[in-house]
Structure 1
């Protein structure tokens, strides 16, 4: 065989191997463990979602799926880690309002753009926020709380889980909607706020329903109103804020799984299919903590997140909250 014919034959063999290898690679994804980065420490809604999804997804993918906590600077450190990781489908992110929607407006020098650098796999978990108060408060209704806050601005105190957290921003939105001012008391995380609330040193806290639920159930704090569109069956006697007189204050939070935007289409399609397939399995686990599963189509998910981004960007701008 001549050198020219040998070269042509070798080239043809390489091309044939490439054509047959590419579909095989797509079909075998994943062929090693997958990580889901939780951008906060253990405990809380992000961690619950990361671990429940990882456990269920492992069985569907036939490979270990491991939830790994990477906290720091709110949710920035873990989110940046995923943004800087290879977009190969093996490093995913637990994302929600904090790291996908809030951070671009809260930080002037954020090193990543969540709306451009991530794509949703699926939104899986929804939960309301709840306004709770110390158990010995002289107020039992939201109307009474608002009336007292208006009479003496900044006398009543409001804990938050850290500047720029969901708890902080929902509280800021409530103050804006009701024309009230509370003394803002920031903590390093939701759990750090409860000792002072339980001891009566702080008056109020707006927290995620799942985190506040046990404290309300055991009578350690008062459940005053839900910042959601409907009552929660876990606390059926706690009204919504709309029912309590603050019309239009329907805020439900959400958490999902995200992948780097340049993830290969084949891997992304498989992840979307398999994560959506496990959502019904998570219903009971999420209901126990006062949340719900969210079953949203791929076509609905992108526009939904964009609407949330636009809405909360305005709230953050109007309240002037910044973290740098």
Structure 2
């Protein structure tokens, strides 16, 4: 039997199936390409997308602009606090509530100092006039102490004057571990700042010429209040040139310098370097001169701490002079802590005079 017709039929069917498969594959590829193109940005495929009614077409960089406009969280911003023009009395402006008293043994009134305020996302260090006190019930009163009553009264009077609350509650544990803030706040009694884990509130009262910061806190047996008013530092000490240092040493055998250090540290601040330079010049001009560098502190903090701090500061001055080529054998460092005041520690001006370095001829 001749099988050629059957073979021809089978060959034809195979060709038809192959052609059909190729056609189907081509159609699927076109569909995939179209899908891919529709998912690409319009500017990549040469199309223009028209914005819907009431919408603006987002331009490159709009995402960043939106974030800058506040779509992402931002921290405390002093400029966002409205300026208050409410009348105020004399500093510290806000009194303790009726039936309560300030803790006179631990209250501080400083003409110029630093204090740190928690703003909800960070600490702000404020320089200026400071008032800090603990608050307790009056001793001749039958009133029961209520920390909540105290802070609610203070909150009312501060916000009535235009103050804005910027923080409320505990300061986060990690923020409380900041050693610089711990050292800075060591100047204030526990009853003014409360314990580290106690809840607190921070208020900002912004004026055209200054900013007033208020911190309240409450503990079980007392409440605390700190008020700070920003003001620029006005230097009152003068640079003593080498010739003046020489004259005072010849006349009195000693001379006091106002060398400024970082708070509770022995780091000499840059503003005091010109005075250190004059001491260096004095020693260079008289190679036979030998000096004792004596450190002194005020009575803030414990006596043992102040003794160690005064010694460290005296050594820092000696090290600064030795680093410039002065033979260390011509210098000695001593610390006297708070034991040799030259002014009343009850005032900030007196404490500033007591925080000094003296050069003594030996």
Shorter-chain TM range is under 0.3
> TM-score, normalised to structure 2's length?
0.22
Q: Which has the higher contact order (CA 8 A, sep 6+)?
A: 1
Relative to its length, the structure with more helix (as a share) is: 1
TM-score, length of structure 1 as denominator length? 0.24
